[in-house]
């Protein structure tokens, strides 16, 4: 893990997308970390999850265009499906998920915010 910063305070978990230099855009590694983390949070004692982006400029610019431009069609399909999996997991969590939108929420970043409950 390295792209998601996780902080816990009692029953509140804050997940920060930690790619400020890329406006917190999500590549496949970020999405894989999200899946692993969300799987664990489904079963733990936390009551509320907050998702935000690192820095004052962007919540998330969505897809990492630089990453996408370097992959072929098969990898692109895997990337898109993984993105849907992250959003579906957030939507289906039985705990409230809050999007702390702290700047740009573009494309998939807007979708990420919309997948949250608040």
Q: Where are the domains of the chain?
A: 4-115
Strands 4-9 and 12-17: antiparallel
Q: State the pLDDT at residue 1.
A: 54
Binning pLDDT at 50, 70 and 90, where does residue 115 land? very high
What pTM did the predictor assign?
Answer: 0.94
Mean pLDDT in residue range 6-30: 96
Q: Which helix (H) or strand (E) is 27 found in, with range?
A: none
Q: Could you read off the pLDDT of 45-104 as tens digits, one per residue?
A: 999 999 999 999 999 999 999 999 999 999 999 999 999 999 999 999 999 999 999 999
Domain 4-115: homologous superfamily in CATH = 2-enoyl-CoA Hydratase; Chain A, domain 1 (3.90.226.10)
- pLDDT tier at 16, thresholds 50, 70, 90: very high
Burial (CB < 10 A; 0-12, 13-18, 19+), residue 7, is exposed
What is the average pLDDT across 110-116?
A: 98
């Amino acid at each position: 893990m390295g792209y998601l910063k996780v902080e816990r305070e009692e029953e509140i978990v804050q997940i920060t997308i930690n790619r400020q230099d890329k406006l917190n855009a999500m590549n496949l590694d970020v999405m894989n970390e999200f899946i692993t983390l969300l799987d664990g949070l489904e079963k733990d004692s936390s009551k509320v999850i907050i998702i935000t982006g690192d820095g004052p400029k962007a919540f998330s610019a969505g897809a990492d265009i630089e990453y996408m431009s370097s992959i072929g069609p098969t990898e692109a399909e895997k990337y898109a499906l993984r993105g849907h999996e992250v959003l579906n997991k957030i939507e289906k969590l039985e705990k409230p998920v809050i999007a702390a939108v702290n700047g740009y929420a573009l494309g998939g970043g807007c979708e990420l915010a919309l997948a949250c409950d608040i």
